[in-house]
C-alpha cells in the first residue's frame, strides 16, 4: 500500500523539509515528492502542520504496556511491551534485562529469538558482569565476575539476539571483551568504578559505548575524572543519557551535549511497576526500590526529546537525532533513524506540544 503524508514538516535526519510530501510504499520509504506528484492510488495522512520524524529508537528500556519483561519473559509480555512502546512513538527498541539469573537471561533469549516482533531489535543485557561497588539498583546476589566460558555458553545459542551488553571495563579481561566482539555484541561501559586510565583501556580494547552517563559510574572529579572523563575525552565512544531531570540534572545534560556532540544519545531506562525480583515502586515521576534507590524512569522518548528542547536548550533537530539517528549508528542499523529512500517506514507524527498524533511501524499505522 502506498501512503502519502501531507501538510507536515519532514525531518529527514539531516534537515527539516517544508512543503513536500513523504511517500511510503509498504514497509519502506519511497521518497519525498512535490504536492502534484502524489500517486493517484495513495492513502493520504494529513499531518495538520505537525512534524514527521523517523520513529524513536530506545536501546535501554525494561518495560512498557504495563509489563516488566524480566518478571516473566514470555510471548505475551513481549507483545504487550511492544504494543505499549509503539503507541508511545518508540518503533525500535532493545528489551533490556537488569542483572539476573542466567536462567532468566536464557529464557529471555529464547522468547525473543523465536518470536520476532517488528519493533524488537534484540536484547540489551545490563549485567551481570558489573562492579558491585556501582551496582545501583541491581541485586548483589546476581552480580558475577566475568567468566569467558560462561559468556560463550550464554551466547552460543542466542542466534544473534543479544545485541548489547553493559559491563564494568575494569573487571573484564581482554578475552572476555574479544568474545563479545566476535559475537557482534555492542559493548557498553557501565555500573563501573573505573579510573580514567581503566576507562581508556577498555575503550582501546573495543568498548564503543557507555551506559546512562553519570549514573552508576565513577564520579567526575577534578583530580580523578573517572569513567565520565574517559568518555568525554574519547572521539569515538558514544554514551546514552536519561533526560528526565532526575537521573541527571538538565544542566548536566546541556553541558554533556556541548562536550560530546553527536556521541550523546537518548534512552528512557523506563520500567514498570513490579512486585517481582526487582520490586519497582512508582514514586510520582520515577521508580524506586523498596529501600529508596532510584531504579528506573517513567520517561518516554517523546518526553525525552521535549526535555532536551525545553530544559537543555538543544535544538529540535538535534534532539530528534539523539532519539533516532545516533542510536541507529550505535547498533549499526542503516535502515533506521532517518527518512530516506529505502529506509524502513517507521514514523512518528507529533505536534508543537510534543503530542504524538500518529505512529507507523514498517508502514502500518499503530492503532
Residue 184 annotated among the catalytic residues of the structure? no
Quote the strand ranges of 232-365, DSSP E: 238-242, 264-267, 281-283, 286-288, 294-297, 347-350, 356-361, 364-365
Q: Are strands 281-283 and 286-288 parallel, antiparallel or unpaired?
A: antiparallel
Beta carbons of 213 and 231 less than 8 angstroms apart: yes
Residue 161 class from Cβ within 10 Å (0-12 exposed, 13-18 middle, 19+ buried)? buried
**For 293, phi and psi rounded to 5 degrees?**
-65, 130
Residues 6+ apart with CB under 8 A from 153: none
Residues 6+ apart with CB under 8 A from 307: 243, 244, 245, 250, 253
Q: Are strands 238-242 and 264-267 parallel, antiparallel or unpaired?
A: parallel
Beta carbons of 124 and 165 less than 8 angstroms apart: yes
The catalytic residue among 58, 269, 344, 346 is: 269
Name the CA dihedral angle for 209, 210, 212, 217, rounded to a multiple of 10 degrees. 180
Q: Is the dihedral of CA 3, 6, 8, 13 positive or negative?
A: positive
Give the number of C-alpha atoms closer than 13 A to the C-alpha of residue 256, restricted to the C-beta side.
26
Distance CA 143, CA 167 (A): 11
Measured CA to CA in angstroms, residue 48 lies from 20, 35, 357 at distances of: 13, 15, 10
SS3 string, 35-79, reads: HHHCCCCCEEEECCCCEEEECEEEEEECEECCEEHHHCCCHHHHH
Helix, strand, coil percentages (3-state) for the chain, rounded to 5, are 30, 30, 40
Distance CA 212, CA 224 (A): 20
What positions carry a catalytic annotation?
269
Amino acid at each position: 500500500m502506498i501512503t502519502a503524508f501531507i501538510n507536515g514538516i519532514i525531518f529527514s535526519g539531516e534537515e527539516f523539509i517544508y512543503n513536500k510530501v513523504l511517500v511510503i510504499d509498504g514497509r519502506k520509504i519511497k521518497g519525498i515528492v512535490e504536492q502534484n506528484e502524489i500517486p493517484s492510488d495513495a492513502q493520504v495522512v494529513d499531518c495538520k502542520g505537525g512534524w514527521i520524524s523517523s520513529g524513536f529508537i530506545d536501546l535501554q528500556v525494561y518495560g512498557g504496556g504495563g509489563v516488566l519483561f524480566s518478571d516473566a519473559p514470555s510471548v505475551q509480555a513481549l507483545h504487550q511491551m511492544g504494543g505499549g512502546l509503539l503507541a508511545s512513538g518508540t518503533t525500535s527498541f532493545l528489551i533490556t534485562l537488569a542483572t539476573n539469573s542466567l536462567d532468566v537471561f536464557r529464557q529471555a533469549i529464547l522468547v525473543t529469538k523465536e518470536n520476532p516482533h517488528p519493533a524488537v531489535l534484540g536484547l540489551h543485557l545490563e549485567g551481570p558482569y558489573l562492579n558491585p561497588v556501582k551496582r545501583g539498583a541491581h541485586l548483589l546476589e546476581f552480580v558475577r565476575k566475568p567468566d569467558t566460558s560462561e559468556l560463550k555458553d550464554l551466547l552460543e545459542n542466542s542466534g544473534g539476539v543479544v545485541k548489547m551488553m553493559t559491563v564494568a571495563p575494569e573487571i573484564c579481561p581482554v578475552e572476555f571483551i574479544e568474545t563479545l566482539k566476535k559475537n557482534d555484541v555492542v559493548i557498553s561501559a557501565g555500573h563501573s568504578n573505573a579510573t580514567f586510565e581503566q576507562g581508556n583501556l577498555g575503550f582501546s580494547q573495543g568498548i564503543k559505548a557507555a551506559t546512562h552517563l553519570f549514573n552508576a559510574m565513577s564520579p567526575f572529579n577534578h583530580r580523578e575524572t573517572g569513567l565520565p572523563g574517559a568518555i568525554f575525552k574519547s572521539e569515538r565512544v558514544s554514551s546514552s543519557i536519561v533526560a528526565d531531570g532526575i537521573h541527571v540534572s538538565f544542566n548536566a545534560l546541556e553541558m554533556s551535549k556541548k562536550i560530546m556532540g553527536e556521541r550523546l544519545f537518548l534512552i528512557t531506562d523506563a520500567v514498570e511497576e513490579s512486585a517481582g525480583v526487582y520490586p519497582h515502586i512508582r514514586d510520582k515521576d520515577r521508580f524506586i526500590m523498596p529501600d529508596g534507590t532510584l531504579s528506573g524512569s517513567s520517561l518516554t522518548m517523546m518526553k525525552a526529546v521535549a526535555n532536551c528542547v525545553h530544559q537543555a536548550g538543544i535544538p529540535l533537530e538535534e534532539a530528534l537525532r539523539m532519539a533516532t539517528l545516533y542510536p541507529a549508528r550505535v547498533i549499526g542499523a542503516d535502515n533506521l533513524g532517518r527518512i530516506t529512500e529505502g529506509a524502513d517506514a517507521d514514523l512518528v507524527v507529533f505536534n508543537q506540544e510534543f503530542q504524538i498524533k500518529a505512529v507507523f511501524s514498517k508502514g502500518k499505522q499503530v492503532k
